[in-house]
Amino acid sequence: MNAALQLLITTAVTISFLHTVTGPDHYVPFIALSRVRGWSISKTVGWTLLCGAAHVGSSVLLGLLGIGLGWSLSKISGVEGVRGGLAGWALLTFGLLYTIWGLKRAWSNKVHKHFDVYDNGEIYVYEHKHGEIVYPQERMKVTPWIMLIIFGLGPCEPLIPLLTYPAAQHSAYGMCMLIGSFTLFTLLTMVGMVLLGYYGFSLLRISYLERYVHALGGVTILICGVGMVCLGW
């Protein structure tokens, strides 16, 4: 495994961890559902893995765009010998733009998904802006199947540029390693957070970072791109 692929995998693992831990919707609903419905630990983990697989699956499908972009870079006439450099610059540029977009999104109070968990175990999901009043009829009661749909429709966008580099290198091995690492650590983090809550341990109090998750992903990709282009990582 070359240094570039190691860096990409490290970036993918970091993004999968940050994306999951900073988003309470990745684990709090499963903990609440397991308590109110009296689920066993195996059923709780099973639903977590099923929804996590839907989440990662939609991310991988979106990542196919990155594969297409990488192949396009590799076919530009006269630049076959420097396609790795082009992919590195593409990664750096995307990271910068994604960071700027993420910060703008965090500061502009965009509509975002939110979960309400009540003492009786009922969970409702709705979209709102901070400070906006949401009426009961505008919310949807969460069931396991609703959770599956929500996760299937909520991909992790930063996977797209990460797949650009191995695609530009025509490396099927690199793409498989990247997708496999992202999938494994996303599922492990989700299950780990759910298990902590299931057994009554205090969860990490960093949910306030949720609004900055896109900016954090962009910074992580930007660091990766800078390392490839400027530092020879």
Domain map of the chain by residue range?
Answer: 3-110+145-230
Please say if the pLDDT value at position 163 is more than 80: no
Whole-number pLDDT of residue 81:
44
Q: Which residues contact residue 171 at a Cβ distance below 8 angstroms, ignoring those fewer than 6 apart? A: 5
For residue 36, the model assigns a pLDDT of 74
pLDDT tens string 168-198: 666 778 888 888 898 999 999 999 989 988 8
Tell me the percentage of the chain whose pLDDT exceeds 70.
70
Q: What local confidence, expressed as pLDDT, does residue 49 receive? A: 93
Is the separation of the CB atoms in 21 and 189 below 8 Å? Answer: yes
Q: What is the rounded average pLDDT of the residues 27-42? A: 83
pLDDT at 139: 59
What is the per-residue pLDDT across 8-24, written as a single tens digit (0 to 9) for each? 888 889 888 888 888 77
Q: 198 or 49, which is more confident?
A: 49
Q: What is the mean pLDDT of the chain?
A: 75
Ranges 25-34, 36-45, 150-159, 222-231, most confident: 36-45
Angstrom distance (rounded) from CA 220 to CA 214: 10
pLDDT of residue 127: 60
The pLDDT of residue 82 is: 43
Q: How confident is the model at residue 95 (pLDDT cuts 50, 70, 90)?
A: confident
Q: Which of 93, 113, 101, 118 is nearest to 26 (CA)?
A: 113
Q: b/e map of 162-199 (b: 16 or more CB within 10 Å)? A: bbbbbbbbebeebbebbbebbbebbbebbbebbbebbe
What digits encode the pLDDT tens for the residues 121-140?
566 665 655 555 554 445 56
Confidence at 43, pLDDT banded by 50, 70, 90: very high
The DSSP symbol for 204 reads P
pLDDT at 64: 79
| Other beta carbons within 10 Å of 29 | 24
